A and B are shown apart, each in its own frame.
Chain A
């Protein structure tokens, strides 16, 4: 299983670069120190496994350009992304996006029904948009729009909070979306998403 994953990652890498690095030669450990040995996320560092390839590249660039500027981004990811060249960004993104994601499942299960309703329908009467319009019905994401299914509760709620505080302001329309949600709605959506999915689908 591990072997086939490695081969898959190496294959994915070989499609996108002229001089592919083998997965074993990638500085993967620099990422997994914080993001977890199987890249399923650890503490404040989100899961990278199964995340969208284009999203990972886009975020690495936004760290390097200091567009994503919340406290943890500035403290850890600005320097981590500062010296990555473009092939390395792509190779690392290809490696992590090919790993199967597990659901963190660490939200409040009592809030799942409310969170699912907000995710799928929004709250039209309160001018809250449906998350699925951009993130997909299975919260799988697409292109540079991230997979949200199974991310950790604290990561999801902290990200939404950071947008309401003015961080990562260029990531339209998320600042507007985050400001439209009440704290209890954030808790519900983050709880729901923490339990979603786990299967790895096509990028």
Chain B
């Protein structure tokens, strides 16, 4: 009898609990999702700078502020798919839920701090010339053709304006070892001949020029 009563008594109590939990779950789920994105954004900016302006640590953390969202999304997927090889970012990308990636990319895109600065400036004019017109004799196309005359990029093609000087130099120097591992279908593949045709002085000049652009 007692057993029967308690069996009878349990369901209503359980129902109340379920109702309470369910009643909170829907809005909570949404705010939990938002705060998970907030926390991940804080995580990104710990290394990439408070306003995603980039940071020069032992490794150079690139500027993400103002970056094309499709570029950020493609690169995060490239880390996950090992089309781009980077030991730090491979782990980082695995810790970002793929459902969070578009929201993070949009938040980075919306930021607009001034350039990180600190770059040399002796070869800015050469950099500007190569950026605008390329080097026809070396089979280097004009950077502006794809990255835009203002270096803001488009779709999966990155913004270069305000990118850290040291990041530009480093990433162009190791391009083919890190990027485009997915073959010709990987958009980063297209940079391989261009990177090979640039001298290190020309790379530095380009880096000087774009790093100062706003």
A interface, CB within 8 angstroms of B: 121-125, 127-130, 132-137, 140-143, 145, 172-173, 176-177, 180
For residue A149, give the distance in angstroms from its CB to the closest CB of chain B: 12
A to B contact number (C-beta, < 8 Å): 60
Q: Is the CB of B58 within 8 A of A141?
A: yes
Residues on the B chain within 8 Å of A136, using CB: 58
A124 and B93 CA atoms in complex are apart in Å by 8
Q: Is the CB of B91 within 8 A of A129?
A: no
Residues on the A chain within 8 Å of B55, using CB: 134, 173
Residues on the B chain within 8 Å of A180, using CB: 43, 46
B82 is an interface residue with CB less than 8 A from chain A: no
B interface, CB within 8 angstroms of A: 39-40, 42-43, 45-47, 50, 55-59, 61, 88, 91-92, 94-96
Q: Is the CB of A124 within 8 A of B94?
A: yes
Known contacts A122-B92, A124-B95, A124-B96; is A129 also within 8 Å of B43 by CB?
Answer: yes
Q: Is the CB of B46 within 8 A of A177?
A: yes
Residues on the B chain within 8 Å of A143, using CB: 56
Q: Is the CB of A130 within 8 A of B91?
A: yes
Q: Is the CB of A134 within 8 A of B91?
A: no
Q: Is the CB of A133 within 8 A of B47?
A: yes
A180 and B96 CA atoms in complex are apart in Å by 17
The closest CB in chain B to the CB of A144 belongs to B56
Interface of A, secondary structure class, is: mixed
Residues on the A chain within 8 Å of B42, using CB: 127, 176
Partner of B58, one of A122, A123, A129, A135: A135
- Top 6 nearest A-B pairs by Cβ distance? A124-B95, A134-B57, A136-B58, A127-B43, A121-B91, A173-B46
For residue B49, give the distance in angstroms from its CB to the closest CB of chain A: 8
Known contacts A124-B91, A173-B46; is A133 also within 8 Å of B40 by CB?
Answer: no
For residue A135, give the distance in angstroms from its CB to the closest CB of chain B: 6
Partner of B39, one of A122, A127, A129: A127
A166 and B58 CA atoms in complex are apart in Å by 25
Residues on the A chain within 8 Å of B88, using CB: 121, 130, 132-133
Residues on the B chain within 8 Å of A177, using CB: 46
Residues on the B chain within 8 Å of A145, using CB: 57-58
Known interface pairs A122-B92, A145-B57, A176-B42; 10 further A-B residue pairs with C-beta atoms within 8 A, sorted by A's residue number: A124-B95, A132-B88, A134-B57, A134-B58, A135-B57, A135-B58, A140-B58, A142-B58, A173-B45, A173-B55
For residue A198, give the distance in angstroms from its CB to the closest CB of chain B: 19
For residue B126, give the distance in angstroms from its CB to the closest CB of chain A: 27
The closest CB in chain B to the CB of A142 belongs to B58
A143 and B166 CA atoms in complex are apart in Å by 14
A20 and B75 CA atoms in complex are apart in Å by 50
Known contacts A122-B92, A124-B91; is A129 also within 8 Å of B47 by CB?
Answer: yes
Residues on the B chain within 8 Å of A124, using CB: 43, 91-92, 94-96
Residues on the B chain within 8 Å of A121, using CB: 88, 91
A176 and B50 CA atoms in complex are apart in Å by 10
Q: Is the CB of A132 within 8 A of B92?
A: no
